Amino acid sequence: MMISELTATELQARLTTAGLCFGCGPFRLRLNSSLRLLFPVLHKLYAHYPVYDHSGVDDYRMTLDWASPLRRWLRPVVRFSADGPAPFTDVSIEQAFPTLEWGMNWCIAVRAHHVLMLHAAVVERHGRVLVLPAAPGSGKSTLCAALSHSGWRLFSDEFGLVQPEDATFIPIPRLISLKNQSINVIRQFSATAHIGSTYHGTHKGSVAHIRPPLASITRMKESAPAGWVIFPRWQAGAALTLQPIAKDRAFMMIASNAFNYEVLGELAFKAVAHIVKNCEIYSLVYSDLAQAIHTLDDLTQ
Amino acid sequence: MLQNQSPAQYASALLINAVCEPQQLSKLSDCDWDLLLQVARQKRLLGRLYMELKRLCLLSSVPENVAAQLRAANNLVTHRQTVLAWELNRILWALKGLDVPVIALKGIAYVIADLPPASGRFFADLDILVPLEHITVVEQRLLDRGWLKTTLSPYDERYYRLWMHEIPPLRHRERESEIDIHHTLLPRTHRFNFHAITASLFTEAHTVPNSEAQILAAPDMVLHVLVHLLFEGNPEEGLRLRDLIDIADLLRYFGSEMTFWSQLVQRAEQLNLGRPLYYGFRYLQRLLGIKVPAFAIQTTARFAPIAPIQWLMDWLVPLAILPEHPAYPRYRARLARQLLYLRAHWLRMPPLLLIRHLSYKMWLRLRKVPRYIDIKPQDLQQL
Amino acid sequence: MDIWQLHSQGALHWEQWEDQFALYQVASGETHFLNAFGAAILQQLIAAPQSLDAICAHLAIEFDCMPDAELCAQVSALLTRFDELGLIQRHDD
């Protein structure tokens, strides 16, 4: 059963009692919240995630709720927590949903040390994945959103999860988070992208979230090896260039892009070496999104 | 859940059984695993459970995502152990030629001497012990060879130098780990101070194969963990169950030699640590079911406190050391953690200083430190 | 003159791309990046413990340059750095 198949009342009942248990990629998550404004957002944007029975072994247990029952009326702030003290400062109720998304990323990033975690967007086609490592201003989420709505399967917008033993990528189809101008860019690029409300004034400016396409969730247990690593950079007015990157430099760039390269030690060294050896690696500078997608399509035919 | 068992008792029993009888772990239901993972995470024992299951070849018999969570925790443990063992190696490299004895303490000692508590044990910092008269040259040599002082407020710097048993932590400019350099095992101001005989820690110390660092003699090692367990409270975390488990491991390992037990009692008396040893034996038996030889119990009976204190400790210690059920936290457990923290602080310092220190810390807490919610690789290594 | 050798906990994994190398040092968990020159020094010491002069003489042949003071200074600086990183140690330590 998917979250969209729950009625609004059933969804609310789960969130406010034992918790809403659902699956995302390899993880089983449990969310508790009594924030009414969150319920319709979850119903829409989390629609395709499978609902799990509430007795089972959770990977992450998250709570997003009023910071204190009293302050709810004075200064309405909410707090995210997961198995312990709150990792972030409290935020205003308007920012509840983006905070939940960041909180979930935080949970995965601090704990999932059984896999190598790249800070990257990942999409798949013809059984191989294209990895887009993140750097400030890289526009990886914009590219990821555009690719996921142009015939590629979304693996992840934020985490390239790598099985260290064989360097295959594991899907974790979380929502794609768009910032500022890229929200409109994607609205114009794809009529089928399902984009939620825009939240203004967060610490990252305005953000909006794209619901992962249904197929990315129904196939979220299907891993794939990497075929290409593309380091993107968006630059206003730039002519498109696609330049191969030397393997030694690529190794350094991928290793330093991972959240937990040091933690996995030798396993991480070998996994990154495997990716570098088996992938075509380029840097991509672009200004026009459609042209960039076209180039990537050609490259990966 | 068994009848008549509170949620906290159930959660505790689950964790204690997992630690004491890991061979039973393959029989746990999903619900029990779910709870066990939460309490073991609370007490930082996931790595240990992983190593026990691995030793017993039971990893494939537990649910897949349980194994994944345990492996994740253990990868972090292995990483910390590698990094800290290497930090020690580099310290010894830097100190070459100084002819100063260096004793590895706590976690790092278990790792270099390959003692049972090392298995799956998470530890955050590197602790070493050097004689007080050499501490300045040691610090200076490390500063010359790439280590840096961590920036402390003038208050904290003064607090360390005047009152503590260690100097402010150092960190290598290219690495993350903090190193704590101690000159004795208890703060200078501590009630149980045995400053006068700190030198004997060095004369009794043992060498370790393949390392130039030494480790404390077995009785001193056990007493040091006890000191750590009973005097290093933390109001949020309570007393550390993993310290008690370390003691259980060490006693099991060293205790097969009967002479060890009498040496332990004798040494405790010499170091003025009879009372902590008495408590140690008492709660090891009561909470972990560890067998202590009758004669050792008898000879430590004279270190017992007066009956009301005994009664109070019997109430406080289990509350503060055993895990809480995450869904049903109890006010009395929080109270017990806070009271034991106050007690630990009380013993560490003369009362006037205590009030000054606590009020300063309280003031710091009132000034809220901003926290950001960006994920950066360097934030990501807690568990 | 000091004789240098590989560190006693010197298990290393190598990756090579043309004239660049990545090196995983098992004991420290650190990854080091080396150029051909650095890698050649380390490989010399893996083959056998030797002195600064012997390493310089060998490198002069391998890289077709003069075994002069400049080369020696360069090698010496790298040896000091390798020593600090715990990749190598003095033979008598």
CATH number for C82:
1.10.10
Give the count of alpha carbons within 13 A of B102, CB side only: 28
Of B3, B37, B109, nearest to A56 (Cα)?
Answer: B37
Is residue A214 domain-shared with residue A81, that is, in the same domain? no
Res. B360: pLDDT tops 60 = no
Q: pLDDT band at residue B75, thresholds of 50, 70 and 90?
A: very high
* Cβ–Cβ below 8 Å for B89 and C29: no
A256 and chain C: CB distance < 8 Å anywhere? no
B90 and chain C: CB distance < 8 Å anywhere? yes
Res. B367: pLDDT tops 50 = no
What's the burial of B289, exposed, middle or buried (CB within 10 Å: 0-12/13-18/19+)? exposed
Q: Provide mean pLDDT across the span A136-151.
A: 90
State the sign of the Cα–Cα–Cα–Cα dihedral A187, B372, B176, B48: negative
Nearest to A251 among C18, C22, C26 (CB): C22
Q: Provide mean pLDDT across the span B58-62.
A: 95
Nearest to B86 among C27, C83, C93 (CB): C27
Give the count of alpha carbons within 13 A of B127, CB side only: 18
Residue of chain C nearest B174, judged by CA positions: C85
Res. B30: pLDDT tops 50 = yes
Last-in-domain residue among A67, A87, A111: A111
- pLDDT for residue B375: 37
Q: Which chains touch C (3 or more CB pairs under 8 A)?
A: A, B
Residues of B in contact with C30 (CB under 8 A): 86
Last-in-domain residue among A111, A131, A155: A111
Domain boundaries, chain B: 7-365
Distance from CA of B47 to the nearest CA of A (A): 12
* Cβ–Cβ below 8 Å for C93 and B90: no
Q: CA-CA distance, A189 to A132, in Å (whole number)?
A: 19
Is residue A78 domain-shared with residue A126, that is, in the same domain? no
- pLDDT for residue C9: 83
* Cβ–Cβ below 8 Å for C20 and A262: no
Res. B368: pLDDT tops 50 = no
Q: CA-CA distance, B364 to A88, in Å (whole number)?
A: 19
pLDDT above 70 covers a percentage of chain A that reads 99
- pLDDT for residue B272: 87
- pLDDT for residue B11: 95
How many domains does chain A contain in total? Answer: 2
The backbone torsions φ and ψ at residue A114, rounded to the nearest 5 degrees and listed phi first, read -80, -10
Chain A with chain C: Cβ pairs closer than 8 A: 34
Q: CA-CA distance, B277 to B192, in Å (whole number)?
A: 12
Residue A89 three-state SS: coil
Nearest to A57 among B63, B373, B381 (CB): B63
Nearest to A248 among C13, C22, C24 (CB): C22
Question: Which one-letter amino acid corresponds to residue A268?
Answer: A
Is residue A204 domain-shared with residue A93, that is, in the same domain? no
* Cβ–Cβ below 8 Å for A55 and B374: no
Is residue A207 domain-shared with residue A58, that is, in the same domain? no
Q: Provide mean pLDDT across the span A26-36.
A: 96
Residue C88 three-state SS: strand
Q: Which of A113, A163, A257, A262 to mutate to test the interface with B (most CBs of B within 10 A)?
A: A113
Distance from CA of C73 to the nearest CA of B (A): 20
Q: Provide mean pLDDT across the span B149-178.
A: 77
Is residue A107 domain-shared with residue A120, that is, in the same domain? no
A265 and chain C: CB distance < 8 Å anywhere? yes
Instruction: Tell me how far apart the 2 most distant CA atoms of chain B are, in Å.
Output: 65
Q: CA-CA distance, A259 to B57, in Å (whole number)?
A: 30
How many domains does chain C contain in total? Answer: 1
Q: pLDDT band at residue B166, thresholds of 50, 70 and 90?
A: confident
Is residue A80 domain-shared with residue A164, that is, in the same domain? no
Q: CA-CA distance, A16 to A35, in Å (whole number)?
A: 9
Q: Which domain holds residue C41?
A: 3-90
Report strand pairing: B103-104 vs B126-129: antiparallel
Q: Which domain holds residue A133?
A: 116-299
Query: Can you list the alpha helix ranges (DSSP code H) found in C1-93?
Result: 36-47, 52-62, 69-85
Q: Token digits for A9?
A: 């009342």
**Would you say how long chain A is, in residues?**
301
Q: How far is CA B344 from the centre of its chain?
A: 14
Is residue A79 domain-shared with residue A11, that is, in the same domain? yes
Nearest to C24 among A247, A266, A276 (CB): A266
Residue of chain A nearest C29, judged by CA positions: A265
DSSP string, A7-50: -HHHHHHHHHTT-EEEEETTEEEEEE---TTHHHHHHHHTTTSB
* Cβ–Cβ below 8 Å for A113 and B383: yes
Last-in-domain residue among A82, A111, A140: A111
Q: CA-CA distance, A153 to A129, in Å (whole number)?
A: 9
DSSP string, B252-293: HHHTTSHHHHHHHHHHHHHTT-HHHHHHHHHHHHHHH-----
Q: Which of B373, B382, B383 to mutate to test the interface with A (most CBs of A within 10 A)?
A: B373
Is residue A49 domain-shared with residue A156, that is, in the same domain? no
* Cβ–Cβ below 8 Å for A258 and B72: no
Res. A48: pLDDT tops 80 = yes
* Cβ–Cβ below 8 Å for A87 and B373: yes
Residue A127 three-state SS: coil
- DSSP structure class, residue B380: T
Query: What are the pLDDT digits (tens) for B232-285?
Result: 767 778 889 999 999 999 999 999 998 999 999 999 999 889 999 999 999 999
* Cβ–Cβ below 8 Å for C24 and A247: no
A89 and chain B: CB distance < 8 Å anywhere? yes
Distances (CA, A) of C20 to A252, A283, C15, C26, C38: 11, 20, 8, 19, 10
What's the burial of C47, exposed, middle or buried (CB within 10 Å: 0-12/13-18/19+)? exposed
The backbone torsions φ and ψ at residue A222, rounded to the nearest 5 degrees and listed phi first, read -95, 110
Residue of chain C nearest B90, judged by CA positions: C86
Query: What are the pLDDT digits (tens) for A73-109?
Result: 777 899 999 988 888 889 999 999 999 999 999 999 9
Is residue A41 domain-shared with residue A181, that is, in the same domain? no
C12 and chain A: CB distance < 8 Å anywhere? no
Distances (CA, A) of A297 to A155, A211, A290, A301: 17, 23, 11, 6
State the Cα torsion B222-B227-B229-B235 to the nearest 10°: -170
b/e for B323-345, b at 16 or more Cβ within 10 A? bbbbeeeeeebbebbebbbebbb
ipTM: 0.94
